[in-house]
Amino acid sequence: MPAPQQRRLIFAHIDEPGYTKDLACYLKHGGYAVMKKAFTRKPEELIDEVKKSGLRGRGGAGFPCGVKWTLVDRKSGKPIYLIVNADESEPGTFKDRYIMHQDPHQLIEGTMISCFANNVKQAYIYIRGEMPHGARILEEAIREARDANLVGQNILGSAYSCDIFVHRGAGAYICGEETGLIESLEGKRANPRIKPPYFPAVLGLYQCPTIVNNVETLCHVKHIVDMSGEAYTKIGTPNNSGTRIFCVSGHVQKPGYYEFEAGKITMGQLLNEVCGGPLPGRTFKAVIPGGSSAKIMRFGERYKGKRKVGTEMVDYDWGVEDVPMDFDSLGMIGTMGGSGGVIVMDDTVNMVEALANINAFYSHESCGQCTPCREGSLWMKKITTRMVHGDAREQDATLLKSVADQIPGRTICAFGEACSWPTQSFLAKFGDEFKGYADAKKTKVPAETPLI
Amino acid sequence: MSSAPAKPADLVTVNIDGKEIAVPKGTNVIEAAKLVGVEIPHYCYHPKLTIVGNCRMCLIEMGMPAVDPATKAPVMDPATGKQKVNWIPRPQIGCGTNASPGLHIRTNSPMVKDCREGVTEMLLINHPLDCPICDQAGECKLQEHSTAYGRGYSRFVEQKNVKPKRTELGPRVTLDDERCILCSRCIRFSKEIAKDDVLGFIDRGSYSTLTCYPGRKLENNYSLNTVDICPVGALTSTDFRFKMRVWFLKQTPGIDPESSVGANTEVWSREGVIYRITPRQNDAVNDTWMSDSGRMLYKQVKAADRLLAPMIDGLATAPEMALKAANDLLKAGSVAIVGSGRSSVEEQFLTKKLAEALKVPASLVSRVGQGDRLLISSDRNPNVRGALVTGLISALPTQQLTSLASDIDAGKVKTVLSVGEDLTAAGLAAAQLAKVSVVFLGTHKNATSDAAKVVVPTLTIFEKSGSFVNQQFRLQKFAKAVPGPAGVADDLITLSNLVSFASRIITPADLGGLWSSIAAEVKPLAGLSHALLPATGHVLDASAWADLPVCEGETLHYKPAAVPAAVNA
């Protein structure tokens, strides 16, 4: 089956020749028309549209956006804040950066519509510390929008006022965790908060109800309000509505970003047809489908079970290539759609070394607040590093798995899962490589490791 | 209020390991479990500090009674006939889980055991395991919980993290960062209790390191509390570090005599030598805290200026000679007695008896300083209330003994008996002291002891037993931790000797006998005794003194009726 055509919704103008990031160009392409239309409607209607659309958060967890908005405490009398999570830090993910760099007004429009829908008077864009250029672009875009009375006081002559501020992040992965982000925005160390009691929807920024949404999610809101939630559900597959941006990196002929309707394309189509298949003379070995913390998939393995199609339960028997790229299908086979960062590895990759790399990242990024993640992530890194440096032991595979098993579900935030899932899945899928690594390391002859 | 319900509305029933218990709503699971005798191990949780849930040692399994989502009707379990419990598959932190109706907790399931083993292993991999040279050994939570809940062996073959070993955080606290388990209790204490936000973590992950903010020091007067609450040997008292193994030390309950707060203390000694003082929990007085200055008071026991021998005219003499000289002077008449707000209730009672026998009034010297709103009050005498209760004085004392000074100038007073007070500090000039014969009962050398005709050495608070009445009119007792210097008699013996001589009635000098007289003669203390006084003290009826304009500001558990101006900074 040939791959479907790309459906560019969010990335409609990304890398389009002649399309610039300034307001004039955005307005020329119909910019802010949706916002103007939205401001004539009731905020509750807009929330209903988003609920109807079934939009799921694009930051990684895939939590329904409409539900997130309904959970917000609107009775406390405290101001409601909206934070745009632009701390895109998950290795393998590079979608939000494109939006901010090339189409910042799309984000601002989506944010303003979301703010209006939720009666937010102040929004913050928390942009990753390592993206100073993006921050400058956003600052400039907001200034333009403010000058055009699209942001700020009495927007377009209405009684509604809302301002957006750009806040540069503190330069750590954990700043992207929503409660860590809130702490960081408050000027503290980005230590995630305990939930309960600090659910952002109730006790978020400055202990006020707060909505934290991903950049791409808010851009989707603009399109939902534009086409109506009903129409949006027609895109993609049931419960996985809308488009998904896949950031394909690694060992494929044509890595890059691709936007497709969720669930309409399979992993095989994406990698073999859209991305041009493996590099010459190589074969695919493994793929991580949703950012480095998602569980890895091994080419050649089969996923079997029952899934719901419409109202019926249908058997499925998929290879990696057959898995539809949506939240539910990927979740069903034990991994996740996550942030859409597809990391491809071919047969030249040594899995122990790949895991050592991932572990090095997570041990460096653990905030250090709670014990299992803090100590476990570094321990796993130390083990894999030692293995790579030639001191692998046979029992290391068992030990690694046991360490990883002591982390998820026992930590303050989801970093516990993020740092342990790679190790758990690498060992589950490539356990033989880990067990035999001591010998593999010893028998390696120079010819097999050509100079690059 | 509605008619008395069988179960008060603010109590909820929770089930811990199968045992039902009613606890106030909002009690966290660790405290609730304590009530049914179940220990939930924890490091970062401290009952007096905010909850951060970062050590993950208190992970427990939690369940709620099942209800039908549609009808809200309870779902029954046919096997047991009871309401079904929906157990949450993820473990929850005990410290952050509050009691709610029907909450079920398991602390002994395989999952909880696995969690504790996991967390213990994680805490130990980068811990130096230097218990043999660690001051905390013997009172270390990590040591105790590792023994009780750990696996007992190590699977860690990597290099441990290296961190600073002896950071001086302040004048009294030394930090060994390698031992730190990053529980953040000290940070929260500094911020929330001491209101001196100086501590924080730098770096990330397992390399996180506790330190002070740049240019700041942990030097507030409560810094040593961080050492007490440190669950491991990371924060150590520079004074106590490497001095003594804690299991050799004997604990004696004491009272901090610095001010009228009367913080409860524990005096740790071995073979007659005090090594350290720590707070003793009293939730109505000092919670679990005490000041640094109060901890250093034990140094006065071995101070160089300690009075160790009785003296007449500056020359050492036998105790009975000194007492006789004192009795002769008192018998000669024209006596003034200066009692002390630092004396115990028992001593003040005897001082009052002496004044009565000699038919002279007694005065007291007040000490006033700045209160710190925590555990040091403006009234720097520990027991002015005791003098009021025993009737030694009837009005509040003044800082200067002006009327005594004028009496001396007028020649009305020939002999002054000072019970531990330095008269020159209380406003008497050297020339005035020279006009009279001073009998000085005291512990340390000062201008008054130098000028005294007769000096009888007495004991410090650590060498005697007694009681104080604090600012809340709470009668609190302290006990003798170490024996006094050879040849120095107990204060009660010295005073009862003077009383017996003056009144010609034998007066008891032991606490038991003395308290029979006190309970009989002092109305507010009727029915009480030193021996039976509870460890947390006994609050007296203070209505008789409610209108006295005491010079007190707010402290941790005390609010004055009206705060006199300029008492608290």
Secondary structure (DSSP) of B75-133: PB-TTTSSB-EEE-SS-EESTTPBP-TT-EEESSSHHHHHHHHHHHHHHHHTS---GGG
Q: What is the distance of C-alpha A101 from the center of its chain?
A: 17
Predicted local distance difference test score (pLDDT) of residue B244: 96
Q: B328 phi and psi, to 5 degrees?
A: -60, -45
Residue pair B368/B564 in contact by the 8 Å Cβ criterion = no
**Greatest pairwise CA separation for chain B in angstroms:** 96
Q: A286-303 b/e with 16+ CB inside 10 Å = b?
A: bbbbbbbbbbbbbbeeeb
Two structure tokens written together for A329: 């299908």
Give the model confidence (pLDDT) of A198-243 as tens digits: 999 999 999 999 999 999 999 999 999 999 999 999 999 999 999 9
pLDDT tens per residue, range B198-229: 999 999 999 999 999 999 999 999 999 999 99
* pLDDT at res. A190: 95
Looking at the complex, does the CB of residue B55 fall below 8 Å from at least one CB of chain A?
yes
Interchain CB contact of A129 with B (< 8 Å)? no
Whole-angstrom CA distances from A376 to A294, A305, B323, B404 are: 18, 33, 72, 73
Q: Which one of B57, B157, B184, B201 makes the best mutation probe of the A interface by having the most chain A beta carbons within 10 Å?
A: B157
B122 closest CB neighbour out of A368, A369, A406: A406
CB-based contact, B51 to chain A, within 8 Å: yes
pTM for the whole structure? 0.93
| Residue in the block written with tokens 């002929």 | A253
Q: Is the model's pLDDT at A26 over the cut of 90?
A: yes
Residue B4: per-residue pLDDT: 44
Say which of B56, B96, B159 has its CB closest to residue A371.
B56
pLDDT for residue A91: 95
SS3 B396: coil
Q: Is A371 on the interface with B (CB under 8 A)?
A: yes
Which pLDDT score is estimated for A451? 62
How many Cβ atoms sit within 10 Å of the Cβ of residue B449? 21
Using CA atoms, how far apart are residues A240 and A326, in angstroms rounded to an integer? 6
**What does the pLDDT read at residue A1?**
73
Q: What residues in B contact A376, CB-CB < 8 Å?
A: 122
Distance from the B53 Cα atom to the nearest Cα atom in chain A, whole angstroms: 7
Q: How many residues in total does chain B contain?
A: 569
Contact B466, B478 (CB under 8 A): yes
Beta-strand relationship, A284-288 and A341-346: antiparallel
pLDDT at B79 (0 to 100): 85
Q: What is the pLDDT of residue B6?
A: 47
Question: How is A52-112 classified by DSSP, letter by letter?
Answer: HHT-B-SSSS--BHHHHHHTS--SS-SPPEEEEEE---STT--SHHHHHHH-HHHHHHHHH
Residue B94 near residue B58, CB atoms below 8 Å: yes
Half-sphere exposure of B475 (CA within 13 A, CB side): 26
Phi, psi of B349 (to 5 degrees): -60, -45
Q: Which of A85, A96, A93 is nearest to A63 (CA)?
A: A85
Residue with tokens 């993950």: B56
B3 band by pLDDT with thresholds 50, 70 and 90: very low
- Calculate mean pLDDT across residues A83-103: 96
> Is residue B568's pLDDT more than 50?
no
**pLDDT tens per residue across span B408-427:** 999 999 999 999 999 999 99
Is the per-residue pLDDT at A452 higher than 80? no
Burial status of residue B499 (CB atoms within 10 A of its CB: 0-12, 13-18, 19 or more): buried
Ramachandran bin of B165, using left for φ above 0, alpha for ψ from -120 to 50, beta for the remaining angles:
alpha
Q: What's B560's DSSP letter?
A: -
CB-based contact A382 B159, cutoff 8 Å = yes
How far apart (Å, rounded) are the C-alpha atoms in residues A4 and A36?
33
How many other CB atoms are found less than 10 A from the CB of residue A6? 17
The whole-number average pLDDT for the span A90-99 is 96
A398–B contact, CB cutoff 8 A? no
Query: Helix or strand or coil: residue B415?
Result: strand
In B216-339 the beta strands, taken as DSSP E runs, fall at 235-237, 250-255, 264-270, 273-279, 311-312, 315-316, 335-338
Residues of A in contact with B182 (CB under 8 A): 368-369, 371, 374
Phi-psi category of A302—alpha, beta or left, where left has phi over 0 and alpha has psi -120 to 50? beta
Chain A nearest-CA residue for B122: A375
Q: For residue B8, is pLDDT > 70?
A: no
**Chain A interface, best mutation among B120, B163, B203, B206, by max A CB count within 10 A:** B206
Q: Nearest C-alpha of chain A: how many angstroms from B96?
A: 7
Burial class of residue B440 in the structure, from the number of CB atoms within 10 Å of its CB (0-12 exposed, 13-18 middle, 19+ buried): buried
Percent of chain B surpassing pLDDT 90: 91
Distance (Å, whole) CA B144 – CA A350: 43
Q: Check: CB of residue B481 under 8 Å from CB of residue B462.
A: yes
Contact assessment for residue B55 and residue B119, using Cβ atoms and an 8 Å cutoff: yes
* Whether residue B2 has pLDDT greater than 50: no
For residue B77, what pLDDT band results from cuts at 50, 70 and 90? Answer: confident
Q: At what angle do helices A415-435 and A396-405 cross, to 10 degrees?
A: 160
Nearest to B20 by CA among B66, B79, B85, B67: B85
Residue with tokens 């079970």: A305
The pLDDT tens digits for A263-306 are: 999 999 999 999 999 999 999 999 999 999 999 999 999 999 99
For residue B433, pLDDT beyond 90: yes
Smallest Cα distance from B54 to chain A, Å: 4
Note the pLDDT of residue A439. 82
Two structure tokens written together for A355: 């895991």
To the nearest whole percent, how much of chain A has pLDDT over 90?
A: 92
The pLDDT tens digits of the residues spanning B137-183 come to: 999 999 999 999 999 999 999 999 999 999 999 999 999 999 999 99
* Closest chain B residue to the Cα of A373, Cα to Cα: B205
Q: What is the pLDDT of residue A447?
A: 62
- Whether the CB-CB separation of B524 and B389 falls below 8 Å is answered with yes
CA A331 to chain CA centroid, nearest Å? 14
Please say if the pLDDT value at position B277 is more than 50. yes
* B93/A194 touch (CB, cutoff 8 Å), yes or no: yes
Residue B510: DSSP 8-state = S
Q: Whole-angstrom Cα distance, residue B470 to residue B479? A: 16
- Chain A nearest CA to B39, separation (Å): 19
- Residue B5 confidence class, pLDDT cut points 50, 70, 90: very low
Record: contact B122-A375, CB cut-off 8 A: yes
Predicted-complex ipTM score: 0.92
Residue A60 has pLDDT above 60, yes or no: yes
User: Does residue B129 carry a pLDDT above 50?
Assistant: yes
CA dihedral A71→A75→A80→A85, nearest 10 degrees, is: -10
Hey, what are A123's tokens? 């929004």
Question: A136 CB contacts (<8 Å, ≥6 apart)?
Answer: none
Amino acid found at B459: L
